[in-house]
């Protein structure tokens, strides 16, 4: 279905209608502690708000209308009736030309400049909640749930044709939110009880294949907010009880391990939204208590807290330049806030000596992700000591030597040995060789091995291909993160050396991704 059937109204008509009612569409706030703008015009509570990719427009949605605002002046540009209930999801395409929103079980895609209807995806199996475009704009994911006999699922469509390309099940409850990583390789989802009362989950997926990678099950109640950090290394989640008493939960997880690295305590009741700033240095969260809170994403320290709305805040988002935050909620308003300067280094922080640097290096390989997270930032804060140390310890992932390759072939044959002890020893040796052995293991798997050898080869490939990481691999990945944060010419040279390693090795891929992000950052105005 296409055509301008929604009959959107333009800025002039919207402003005149509101003025006739004695209520301005936008109020500029002069109080430096308050918002830049107070945007009024929605007739019921506002469920979601989003900045356009260029930061020039702000979209908001309620059960009665979708509105588009000029993000510089706060003036209303466009109003389209949503014509339905349960409007929770709203997303701009990466090029800013399309605006998608969910209405109950349907998804409507509009031309963002005019409000013209482009596509109507009808009758999803479940009610739809939050949604997100993939970074390349080729997929649109929506969280689904709210069914007595149908557990939650993630629905992924081609936004050009409306054809569903993936449906991901696995959550025990309704899926409430979804988000793509910035490189489009991963998808994260969150769930919670709508008809039932099981604790919510956070799940990480391969966004291309739909393979479930890991479950983050540390929340006690529903998980409403979910976000990737800009570099994809962290996931932030926010939640709390659907109704009744209970404090809000805001957590930060390490994506590579699924372990919790930060817990932020500050919301008296359920937290509905959480988002990273574009530079990854801040987190903003908001919820039932009407509070907008800013956090240092490195330390977890509270930076600023604002009594932002008179009722619950359902949605919070950063502008693409990171200088503004928009909030929307139960009081039918949208507010735009200035962010202020990001937190800087702590004054008087002691410079770690050689023994402390060595200890921090060891922490990077540890199974305790929270301690490793603190070590990452301790090393980042000491670039003069950390970079020379890491340049000596880190080595590019190498291909197997000829003797090692011959040894792999023997070990693969031993996977089918009649003696259990020999099979176990061969499995351990192959695992110890790490990612360089992956190509030969895949080749062996393609050679029609026995059922026992196939089982062991598949387990080895799963362990060595990124769904779980050995301590030395984790140590390398975390060290690469330190170098990316430091970003000096010396740190970049170490990253370049690591990026020249075995292409299939996780640390090589991470170093290359770090260099790409640094290159993009240098091109920003």
Of 224, 344, 233, the C-alpha closest to 288 is 224
HSE, side-chain direction, 13 A CA sphere, residue 112: 25
CB atoms within 10 A of CB 150: 14
What are the tokens at 429? 């040796």
Find the helix or strand (DSSP H, E) in which 147 lies: none
Please tell me the predicted confidence (pLDDT) of residue 9.
Answer: 58
Give, for all 525 residues of the chain, the pLDDT tens digit. 344 444 565 432 333 233 333 344 556 555 556 788 899 999 999 999 999 999 999 999 999 999 999 999 999 999 998 877 889 999 999 999 999 999 999 999 999 999 999 999 998 888 899 999 999 999 999 999 865 566 789 999 999 999 999 999 888 888 999 999 999 999 999 998 765 567 788 999 999 999 999 998 788 889 999 999 999 999 999 999 876 667 889 999 999 999 999 999 889 899 999 999 999 999 999 999 999 999 999 889 999 999 999 999 999 999 999 999 999 999 999 999 998 766 665 655 678 899 999 999 999 999 899 999 999 999 999 999 999 999 999 999 888 888 888 999 999 999 999 999 999 999 998 988 877 888 889 889 988 899 999 999 988 887 776 556 778 889 999 999 999 999 999 999 999 999 999 888 889 999 999 999 999 887 766
Give the pTM. Answer: 0.84
Nearest to 322 by CA among 286, 280, 278, 284: 278
Most distant CA pair in the chain, distance: 87
| Cα–Cα dist 252/478, whole Å | 16
pLDDT, position 359:
96
What whole-number distance in Å separates Cα of residue 285 and Cα of residue 223? 13
Rama region for 290: left / alpha / beta (φ>0; ψ in -120 to 50; rest): left
Collapsing DSSP to helix, strand or coil, 512 comes out as: helix
Residue 361: predicted pLDDT: 97
The predicted pLDDT at position 183 comes to 93
Residue 200 is predicted with a pLDDT of 84
- Phi and psi of 250, rounded to 5°? -125, 125
**Cα separation, 464 vs 442, whole angstroms:** 11
| pLDDT at residue 294, as a whole number | 95
Contact indicator for 184, 173 with CB cutoff of 8 Å:
no
9-237+318-338 classified as CATH 3.40.50.150: no
DSSP category for residue 53: T
Instruction: Measure the CA–CA gap between 327 and 290, rounded to whole angstroms.
Output: 10
- DSSP label of 212: E
Residue owning tokens 């089918």: 416
For residue 128, count CB atoms less than 10 angstroms from its CB and return exposed for 0-12, middle for 13-18, buried for 19 or more. Answer: buried
CB atoms within 10 A of CB 447: 11
User: Residue 491's closest CA among 366, 385, 352, 340?
Assistant: 385
Beta strands 98-103 and 106-111, pairing class: antiparallel
The whole-number pLDDT of residue 3 equals 41
Q: How many CB atoms lie within 10 A of CB 149?
A: 5
**Which pLDDT does position 434 carry in this prediction?**
76
Instruction: Cite the beta strand spans of 430-502 per DSSP E.
Output: none
Total residues found in the chain within this entry? 525
Please tell me the predicted confidence (pLDDT) of residue 346: 60
CB 250 within 8 A of CB 234: no
How high is the pLDDT of residue 525? 63
pLDDT in tens, 103-142: 999 999 999 999 999 999 998 888 899 999 999 999 999 9
């Amino acid at each position: 279905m296409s055509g301008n059937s929604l009959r959107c109204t333009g800025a002039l008509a919207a402003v005149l209608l509101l003025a006739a009612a004695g209520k301005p569409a936008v109020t500029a706030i002069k109080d430096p502690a308050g918002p830049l703008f107070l945007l009024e015009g929605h007739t019921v509570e506002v469920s979601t708000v989003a900045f356009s990719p260029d930061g020039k427009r702000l979209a908001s949605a309620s059960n009665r209308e979708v509105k588009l605002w000029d993000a510089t002046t706060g003036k209303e540009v466009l109003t389209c009736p949503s014509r339905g209930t349960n409007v929770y999801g709203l997303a701009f395409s990466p090029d800013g030309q399309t605006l998608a929103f969910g209405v109950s079980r349907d998804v409507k895609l509009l031309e963002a400049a005019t409000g013209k209807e482009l596509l109507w995806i009808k009758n999803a199996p479940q009610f739809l909640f939050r949604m997100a475009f993939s970074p390349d704009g080729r997929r649109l994911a929506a969280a689904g749930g709210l069914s007595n006999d149908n557990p939650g699922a993630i629905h992924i469509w081609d936004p050009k044709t409306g054809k569903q390309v993936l449906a991901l099940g696995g959550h025990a409850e309704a899926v409430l939110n979804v988000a793509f990583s910035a490189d489009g390789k991963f998808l994260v989802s969150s769930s919670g009880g709508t008809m039932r009362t099981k604790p919510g989950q956070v799940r990480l997926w391969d966004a291309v294949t739909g393979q479930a990678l890991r479950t983050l099950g540390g929340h006690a109640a529903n998980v409403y907010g979910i976000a990737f950090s800009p570099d994809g290394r962290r996931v932030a989640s926010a939640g709390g009880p659907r109704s009744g008493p209970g404090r809000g939960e805001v957590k930060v997880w390490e994506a590579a391990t699924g372990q919790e690295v930060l817990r932020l305590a500050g919301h008296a009741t359920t937290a509905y939204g959480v988002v990273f700033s574009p530079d990854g240095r801040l987190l903003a969260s908001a919820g039932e208590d009407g509070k907008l809170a800013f956090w240092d994403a490195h330390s977890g320290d509270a930076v600023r807290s604002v009594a932002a709305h008179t009722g619950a805040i359902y949605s919070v988002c950063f502008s693409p330049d990171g200088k503004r935050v928009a909030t929307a909620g139960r009081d039918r308003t949208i507010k735009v806030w200035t962010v202020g300067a990001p937190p800087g280094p702590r004054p008087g922080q002691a410079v770690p000596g050689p023994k402390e640097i060595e200890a921090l290096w060891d922490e990077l390989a540890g199974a305790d992700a929270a301690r490793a997270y603190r070590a990452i930032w301790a090393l980042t804060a000491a670039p003069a000591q950390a970079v020379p140390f890491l340049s000596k310890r880190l080595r590019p992932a190498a291909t197997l030597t000829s003797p090692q390759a011959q040894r792999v072939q023997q070990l693969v044959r031993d996977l089918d040995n009649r003696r259990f002890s020999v099979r176990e020893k061969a499995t351990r040796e192959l695992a110890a060789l790490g990612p360089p052995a992956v190509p030969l293991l895949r080749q062996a798997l393609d050679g029609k091995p026995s059922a026992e050898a196939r089982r062991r080869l598949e387990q080895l490939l799963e362990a060595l291909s990124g769904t779980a990481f050995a301590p030395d691999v984790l140590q390398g990945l975390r060290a690469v993160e330190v170098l990316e944060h430091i970003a000096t010419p010396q740190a970049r040279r170490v990253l370049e050396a690591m990026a020249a390693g075995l292409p299939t090795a996780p640390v090589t891929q991470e170093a290359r991704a770090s260099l790409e992000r640094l290159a993009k950052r240098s091109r920003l105005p």
